[in-house]
Amino acid sequence: MRLLGVLARVEALKAVKRPAFWVTVGVFAAFNTIANFAPGSGSERAGFPDAWRGIIEPAINLGPVFLAALMILLFAPEFRWRTARQNVIDGLSKEQFYWAKVLLLAGLVALFFVTSVVIGMLPLVLDPGGGGGAFVEPMDLNYLLGFLVALLLWGTAGLMISALVRAAGAGLGLLFLYFICEQIVTALLSSRWSALERMFDFLPGQLFQTITDSAMYYPEVLARTNAARAERGQDLLVYPELWIPLVAALAYVVLFLGLAYVNMRRRDL
Amino acid sequence: MAVIETSGLTKRFPAVLAVDRVSLTVEQGQVFGFLGPNGSGKTTTIGMLMGIIKPTAGTFRLFGAGAPRDLLAARARVGATLETPNFYPYLSGRDNLRIAAAIKGIGKARIEECLEIVGLRGRGKHRFRTYSLGMKQRLALAATMLNDPELIVLDEPANGLDPKGMKEVRDIIRLLADRGKTIFLSSHLLWEVERTCTHVSIVRKGRVVGTGTVAEIVGGEISAVVRAEDDEALFAALKAFPEATSVRASDEGLVVALASDDLAALNRYLAGQGIYVSHLARRHRSLEDAFMDLTGEDGDLGQASLTEFVS
């Protein structure tokens, strides 16, 4: 427990003194605030529990991307500055250094989650709506869970890329290039071989889109979306059972953490 | 008691054999110089001792500990810095030490003490990236001293320093040695090592080519500096002199190593060859000479070799 405390303290000190930390969190918070206070967004909320979707929706797409970028910005430079090496020389094992980064990730996930919820709640605090019934419905909890898993998916991807690439610029480039390429490749191949489409649903980028889509959690949103699609003559959206994409995303989380761990153990610093 | 013991320590990178079966022992209280040209495997060897590089073969012990878990505990008794000072550029010197201190389990008071020793207390609040190279090296020394280690490992601590900075670093090393610390000092500044160290190991292309006390390494070889008008003729004559074991060029003239110290015999021989010397003097062998003999390198390791050898 003492070691965990030391690792957490060290990572917190490294993070909060880094300008990139405040810039990234600040920009994310600003986007989130704008989205929550934009005309129309607040007025649609009648209070809890109906407000939850509006609270999570602006953050669920942006938050994970900002988190992954921040994870790379905080972790990858440790190799260029050779501070990863110095931390080990000072007394950490390579495994302990890795766990310090996992703790950092956990802290950042908590920070992004709490920041999003707090900013999302602000319009309701300033202008309480009517609402009624339970504070939170099961589908809201599922959406919150989806947000958490999405943060973990991108955050662990950022951690793994940092450990593998060991350079912030190249790491950020690789992260975004992968997701862009995945979109292009799956779109091209799916149009030719529709049988591949279901398989592609389990690629990280596609999973991210699935678990961040409010239509998967809220039947009325799905109904509205499908009605619009039907009008346009498009195929109706059909989502698998909720647990399937969430478990698949968590499997990627474990895979990314595992690859980062093995890499940290095996490679010299 | 052996503080560092290596046996057949080897590191092979895909393209190069960086460390080749290095075996050495550093006893408690020694100021041990680890010498070698750039790229001879010094930093890689230290990296293996510090747990940041995995050995390909061989074993090592720190304070008698060899198993991974024991080594982690043994490293708590070590203070080390490798190559350039490695710190967070956006943090102040003091905050950088706070990180090192937290990892080592050291309190704040000791941070101030170490900043004081290296003369950085007044600059402790400034960001590391604003420090001069000398200040960075001193901060690295402060970080190594935080846990009052029994063994201090310094890799090229005088790199890039001006003469004043070098003297400061040397004074700190001496201060630590006087306090009974074991110091493992990697350097290619031979005169620095000769002034500071009690023992040395010399490595070349990853292999230890000489080890012992400084006196043993320098040895009792007799040599003389000779100058004459015609350098080429002098060089040829010295090569042919039966008592000469080696001849090489230096800034002072040609340096001839001799089997006996009869300089009069050498003078007679050269006169017999029609060479009248303008300078002939006995020469004390330095660590630099020993280093050149053992490694085939020039003393200024950054420049091309000007030395010729006759065995």
Per-residue pLDDT of chain B (311 residues; tens, 9 = 90+): 899 999 999 999 999 999 999 999 999 999 999 998 888 999 999 999 999 999 999 999 999 998 888 898 999 999 998 988 899 999 999 999 999 999 999 988 999 999 998 889 999 999 999 999 889 988 999 999 999 999 999 998 888 778 887 888 888 888 888 888 999 999 877 877 888 889 999 999 999 998 999 888 887 678 899 999 998 999 999 999 999 988 988 888 998 988 888 899 999 999 999 999 999 998 877 788 788 778 775 443 333 332 332 32
Query: Which parts of chain B are beta strand (E)?
Result: 2-13, 16-27, 31-35, 57-62, 78-81, 151-155, 182-187, 199-204, 207-213, 222-228, 244-250, 253-258, 277-283
CA of A29 vs chain B CAs: smallest distance (Å): 23
CA A64 to chain centre: 3
Q: With an 8 Å Cβ cutoff, is B136 touching chain A?
A: no
**Between chains, do A269 and B84 touch, taking CB under 8 Å as contact?**
no
End-to-end Cα separation, chain B, in angstroms: 39
Between A and B, how many CB-CB pairs are < 8 A?
77
CA of A221 vs chain B CAs: smallest distance (Å): 47
Q: What is the DSSP letter of B122?
A: G
Task: Report the residue from A13, A82, A87 with minimal CB separation from B98.
Answer: A13
Q: What is the Cα–Cα distance from B264 to B280, expressed in whole angstroms?
A: 10
Nearest CA in chain A to B68: A93
**Between chains, do A19 and B90 touch, taking CB under 8 Å as contact?**
yes
Which of A90, A98, A104, A266 should one mutate to test binding to chain B, selecting the residue with the greatest count of B CBs within 10 A?
A90
Nearest to B188 by CA among B216, B156, B166, B215: B156
**Between chains, do A6 and B84 touch, taking CB under 8 Å as contact?**
no
Nearest CA in chain B to A94: B52
Nearest CA in chain B to A2: B105
**Between chains, do A269 and B104 touch, taking CB under 8 Å as contact?**
no
**Average pLDDT, stretch A179-202?**
87
**Between chains, do B86 and A18 touch, taking CB under 8 Å as contact?**
no
